[in-house]
Chains A and B, each alone.
Chain A
Amino acid sequence: MKFLECGLVQPFRLVVLGVALATAFAGCTGGINKGRSSDEEDPSNDDQPPPDDDSQPPPFVGEKPVECMQDDQDVPVVPLRRLSADEIMRSVEVALELDELGETLPVGVRAPEGFRNDVQVLLTSQQFVQSIDVWAEKVATKVRSSTKALAGCDAFGDPCEKRFTQELGRRLLRHPLDEGQVSRFQSLFKVAKDQGDDFGMGATLVLRALIASPQFLYRLEPAPENGPARKLDGYELATRLAFLAWGSGPDAELLDAAQKGDLDRAAGLTSQFERLMKHPRAKKGLRTFVSEWLGLDLIADTTRDESDVPLGAELRNDMVQESLQLFEHFLDDRDTPAWELATAPFTFTSRRLAQHSGVGAANASDTFGRVELPDNQPRLGFLTHAGFLMAHAGADIPKVVERGLTIFKTILCQSPAAPGPNVNTALNQRPLGPGVTERMNADARAENGTCRACHSGFDPLAFPFERFDGTGRWVERDGNDNVLRTDGTMLWMGSPDVEEDRPYEGHRDFLRLLSEDVRFRSCLSQKVTQYAWGRGLETQGKDACPVYNIRARAAKNGNSLYALFAAVVEDPQFRMVRAAQ
């Protein structure tokens, strides 16, 4: 089989571990909560989900369930996570109840095929510590005049200082401060007073110290080493909920819910998650997720020959907005499966972008708005958005390998294995020119057995997009006047056990096939899970069971974009923590 020749990841074949279906499946999906004495002893679990989990169907028809350990080993290990720059800024915004701070931190790098909140790229360094220190001072200076409003008073002395420290501390550290902590942070008021400054200065020092605290900068979830998994407390759950939904720490209402024990009950947890996802901050969180997943941040810096097609900052920004707004629409639409993002017959565009995209500028307004996409124009779904196509084209005449690998890795969650030693990966491409297109070079690779082993997995995924040029415009010919084509054959997985070559006439056909491909459907859920856990997934290894369970839950709830996020929360293991070995 082609995939295995190249060592490619085959999630469905390899994940399925061959188990006795009924019993193992039941154990898999309900395993972690069942039989846990802590649950039995805890009266607050009265309205935990009933054992209907056991009847949960598999994510895809015919998919065999993953064998689960039915014990703590299925609780995913989430390593100690430092907040990303985005999460730091948003958390302070939420704590101070501000829409924008007006002071920014340097944005870190994205993990390969991942996100900026990935533990792999969140390194600690002297530069980071100093940049936080400098940034916190700037933020504190900005909000100094408004600290009275937060405290409700502005007089030195225990009641006012304590109230301020307790409340701001609770919001930023996402947990009530103990007496020792209150005393420690509160002592900064005295430092300000001794220097002849006012209450506001003392308050800014407390704010700066809280931002520098490990309880703010890291998501601390103590768990015994090599010990059993434990249930998270309400505040820890609030933290997980808020970072997933908003990309920030919890607001006061969520912390209040944690304090009252609401989050210890499944209904309370779901209700709060629902509230968070309806809040405008959820759109901010979603934008981070989408932007980092699809590499939309590349659009601003992608360099292209602009002599014929000027790509101003406004057009580039419109390109980003188009994708973000489509995903926002899908987050609100809970009746439509997320995979229809790939075949959405409408988009959100400005007149400027509509002209570039060729979707009928006459129908677009000056401001951003929804535009229907009839069959007589080239766009359909997010993969045909001009910005995405431009960001991953690789050149003015788009590179087949670049686009193909992007679809393969980012959209289908597949991993090409690295070629072994002494494999000739010089592709022997003929220089592009009249009579030589990227597609022709790719066809030549397909004739070579060594090349074909890997390239057949991803090259064909770029073929349907050949008529979208390096700026994402629809063109009939490339820069060398070669006629371009969009037909081809796709290696299609309509179900976990069905793998077949499917011809398509054009990119619209291809996108319909893609939206039915289980790799794509599964990848949507995997990306949300990866974002939620802040690390790459080992879908063939230790993460096989929880990832399967989350997919199954999302399927049960219709696979809408909302359902993909909710499935992470509804999985019993969301409420558990296990220490890294």
Chain B
Amino acid sequence: MKLDLKYRHVLPRRTFLRSAAGALIGMPMLDEMRRNSAFGAPEPVPARFVTVFFAHGVTGRWFQTHYGAGPRLAPDPLLPLDGLRSKLGIYSGLHQTESGTHAQSGVQCFTGIAGRGSTSSIRAQGASIDQVVLKNGYAGGRSPSPIQTLAAATYFNTRNYSNERHTWREDGQVAAEPYSEVDVLFKAVMGLAPAPKPPMGSAPVDNKKQIYAKSVLDTAMEEYKHWTSDAAGLSSSSRARLRDHLEEVRSLELRIGQLQADGGGTSAACTLSAPQVTTSRRALEKEGAGSNDRVVDAVMWEKVWQAMADTYAMALSCDIARFGNITFQGAGDHVRFKTAWKYKDQTINFADNGESNHLSYYHNVANDENSSANIGARMHSLYMLAQVEYFLSRLDRIQAENGKTYLEANPVMVSSELGDGGGGHSTRNVLHVISGANGRFKTGQPFMFDTHASNFYNAVLQGLGVNQFMGFSKDAAQRDKVLGQIKA
């Protein structure tokens, strides 16, 4: 399997950055910063919100030992966040205690309320925080980017529908199906990127093709306008669904029109060469394939994730998407690692006792930090958070015009489905991380709470200018108490 994610031919609008592969990435102006430049104006709701999910969480005790209450543990799962600590607020003591399974708490993560339904078809009982911000940030709940919600995930367990889905609409439906194959994600993202302006002297674009495409969509739009009107006689929910579709057609039509007007390109071009990598589960599974005890090549999986994270970051930097979720391993996923894996100068030799990380480690975490289960779980959590760090660091390389990075300027939240874990699926002390969101939230320090996670979400919403409750708790006093501690 060859890994070669290269970006080529980039025409930046304002600033540039150097990507992981060493090429330049164009960065559109972040209107979040532009809007905040007005003196004295109330801060608008952020224009973007992305969540990052990782599986199995981090036990609350490890948070405490890492941030000072006791000797450091080895391995230390929170190590990867240290490099970005100045740009993150890192929280524990947040509980999502209504959930009893990975599937339920996986949905509760970012929605603040346990999923409902049977184990195989759990759905959300409310919107995830990225969707709440989207709805409040734009008139009609639609952002100007072509992809309203972008979801990507690399995972193995396909039994439970909700385990790798972490962006939900208010009606409990998934906001976007996650792309699980890097090449498919790439095609979707770059298929919606503005085409580069052709070099001077090159052959003109096929303008006739654009005229035809636009005419076809114009005709279809007239049909949508009729069917979304009162005269069509459809129910309001049906009309709302068609209006969503109409907006997508309109967006596509506008882009084609733009292409036509610009003679085939825009100056905000973002171009990537296709990643030569596959996320095929069959390619990554080495033994016990398809089972709950599958052996996965940790090094290769990391490379797949990095290609996915790079592509996702590119979509954000090119303004192809502003909201959504990226997931490393589905909630409750099972894998076994046999291979050694390197994190910076550490070599992690995953012990293999013939069972998955899920069963061997996370469900056997106990008080003895030197037990094989605790050590194994910390190894796996370190691996997970190293992947999170990779994505966050990509966002931290996207520069904005006021000198801030994407990570600094926008809210990016990280969390998981488990807290203390153990055999009872403890969802106490679920780790949460949020970036400074353009100076709104404190960074550079850890916080220990003892409150329901939904109070934290509601505090974040309030801090972002969204005066709305979400999730399990509607307790304004609790929300304000949390906000008082996290607000910069």
A-side residues, CB < 8 A to B, are 79-80, 106, 108-109, 111-113, 120-121, 123-130, 133, 136-137, 181, 184-185, 187-188, 191-192, 195, 197, 201, 205, 208-209, 212-215, 217-218, 220, 222-225, 301-305, 393-396, 399, 402, 405, 409, 415-427, 429, 431-432, 470, 536, 579-580
Alpha-carbon distance between A241 and B251 when the two chains are bound, in angstroms: 34
Neighbouring A residues of B184 by C-beta, 8 Å: 106
Of A109, A136, A191, A579, the contact of B215 (CB 8 Å cutoff): A191
Q: Which residue of A lies closest to B187 (CB)?
A: A127
Assembly CA distance A184 to B101 (angstroms): 54
Which residues of the other chain, B, contact A209 by a CB distance below 8 angstroms?
215-216, 219-220
| Nearest B residue (CB) for A401 | B292
CB of B191 within 8 A of chain A?
yes
* B147 close to A (CB within 8 Å): yes
Q: Which residues of chain A are near B236, meaning CB under 8 Å?
A: 225
Kindly state the separation between the CA atoms of A530 and B282 in the bound complex, as whole angstroms: 31
Assembly CA distance A393 to B424 (angstroms): 26
How far apart sit A188 and B133, CA to CA, in the bound complex (Å)?
41
Residues of A within 8 A of B237 (CB): 79-80, 580
In this complex, which of B103, B173, B211, B233 has the most chain A Cβ atoms within 10 angstroms of its Cβ? B233
Is the CB–CB distance between A127 and B192 below 8 Å? yes
Contacts of B235 in A (CB 8 A): 80, 223, 225, 579-580
On whether A128 and B248 interact (CB within 8 A), knowing A113-B120, A214-B227, A418-B122, the answer reads: yes
B252→A133 contact, CB < 8 A: yes
CA A184 to CA B121, docked complex, whole Å:
43
The interface residues of chain A lying within 8 Å CB-to-CB of B217 are 133, 212
- On chain B, the residues within 8 Å of A109 by CB distance are 177
Contact among B97, B122, B216, B426 with A212 in the assembled complex (CB-CB below 8 Å): B216
Is A426 a contact partner of B363 (Cβ separation < 8 A)?
yes
Whether B4 sits at the interface, judged by CB under 8 Å, is no
Label chain A's interface by main secondary structure: loop
Task: Provide the bound-state CA to CA distance between A285 and B103, in Å.
Answer: 33
Q: Quick one: given A128-B248, A426-B364, are A123 and B289 in contact (CB under 8 Å)?
A: no
Residues of A within 8 A of B291 (CB): 394-396, 399, 470
Identity of the chain B residue whose Cβ is nearest the Cβ of A9 in the assembled complex:
B118
Most buried by A among B99, B174, B291, B363: B291
Would you call B222 and A184 a contact (CB within 8 A)?
yes
In the complex, whether B467 has a CB less than 8 A from a CB of chain A is: no
Q: List 25 A-B contacts (CB under 8 A).
A: A112-B120, A112-B161, A121-B174, A125-B147, A126-B148, A130-B192, A130-B252, A133-B216, A188-B219, A191-B211, A191-B212, A192-B212, A212-B216, A212-B249, A214-B227, A218-B241, A220-B232, A303-B282, A303-B289, A405-B159, A409-B118, A417-B118, A431-B353, A536-B121, A580-B235
B100 on interface, CB distance cutoff 8 Å: yes
Does chain A have a CB within 8 A of B242? yes
- Please indicate the chain B residues that have their CB under 8 angstroms from the CB of A181 in the complex: 223
CA distance A214 to B247 in the complex (A): 13
Residue of A nearest to B158 (CB): A298
B211 touches which of A195, A395, A425, A432 (Cβ 8 Å): A195
Of A109, A212, A220, A419, the most chain B CB neighbours within 10 A belong to A212
A301 touches B282 (CB 8 A): yes
| Least Cβ–Cβ distance between B488 and chain A, in angstroms | 34
CB distance from A189 to the nearest CB of B (A): 11
Set of chain A residues within 8 Å of B101, measured between Cβ atoms: 418-419, 425
Q: Is the pair A222, B234 in contact by a Cβ cutoff of 8 Å?
A: yes
Cross-chain contact A305 with B118 (CB below 8 angstroms):
no
Interface string of B89-107 (1 = CB under 8 A from A): 0000000011111011000
Contact A220–B227 (Cβ < 8 Å): yes
Interface residues of B in 206-248 (CB under 8 A from A): 208, 211-213, 215-217, 219-220, 222-224, 227, 232-238, 241-242, 244-245, 248
Residue of B whose beta carbon sits closest to that of A213: B223
Cβ of B219 and Cβ of A187 under 8 Å apart?
A: yes
**In the complex, chain B residues 289-315 whose Cβ is within 8 Å of any chain A Cβ:** 289-293
Q: Are B219 and A124 in contact (CB under 8 A)?
A: no
Contact call B289/A431, Cβ cutoff below 8 A:
no
Residues of B266-280 whose CB lies within 8 A of A = none
A124 to B174, CA, bound (A): 11
Q: Which of B98, B252, B289, B292 contacts A126 (CB 8 A)?
A: B252
Q: Is B195 an interface residue (CB 8 A)?
A: no
**Contacting residues, chain A, for B241 (C-beta < 8 A):** 80, 124, 218
Closest A residue by C-beta to B213: A133
Task: Specify which of A111, A188, A393, A431 is in contact with B355 (CB 8 Å cutoff).
Answer: A431
Interface string of B131-153 (1 = CB under 8 A from A): 00000000000000011110000
List of B residues within 8 angstroms of A213 by Cβ = 219-220, 223
- A127 near B353 (CB under 8 angstroms)? no
* B282 with A429: CB separation less than 8 A: no
A108 CB, nearest partner CB in chain B, Å = 8
Instruction: Tell me the minimal C-beta distance from A578 to chain B in angstroms.
Output: 9
B166 at the interface (CB under 8 A from A): no
Give chain A nearest CB distance to B121 CB in angstroms: 3
Any chain A CB within 8 A of the CB of B423?
yes
Q: In the complex where A112-B120, A125-B148, A416-B119 touch, is A422 in contact with B212 (Cβ < 8 A)?
A: no
In the complex, the answer to whether A409 meets B120 with C-beta atoms within 8 Å is yes
Q: How far is the CA of A137 from the CA of B227 in the complex (A)?
A: 24
A426 touching B211 by the CB < 8 A rule? no
- C-alpha spacing A205/B220, complex, angstroms: 11
Q: Is the CB of A424 within 8 A of B216?
A: no
A422 adjacent to B426 (CB under 8 Å): yes
Closest 8 CB pairs of A and B: A395-B291, A303-B289, A112-B121, A222-B233, A426-B363, A212-B220, A579-B235, A80-B238
Interface-central residue, A209, A220, A409, by most chain B CB under 10 Å: A209
Q: CA of A351 to CA of B257 in the docked complex: distance in angstroms?
A: 58
Q: In the complex the two chains form, is A205's CB within 8 Å of B245's CB?
A: no
Smallest beta-carbon distance B98→chain A, Å: 6
Question: Which residue in A126, A188, A420, A425 is a CB contact (below 8 Å) of B251?
Answer: A126
What separation, in Å, do the CA atoms of A217 and B244 have in the docked complex? Answer: 13
State the Cβ distance, A106 to closest chain B Cβ, in Å. 8
Taking the closest CB of chain B, its distance from the CB of A216, in whole angstroms, is 9
* Residues of chain A with a CB closer than 8 A to B122's CB: 418
The one of B99, B119, B211 in contact with A421, judged by C-beta atoms closer than 8 angstroms, is B99
**CA separation between A505 and B149, bound complex, in Å?**
54
* Chain B residues with CB under 8 A of A188: 215-216, 219
Complex interface: chain B residues within 8 A of A402 (CB): 159, 292
Contacts of A395 in B (CB 8 A): 288, 290-293
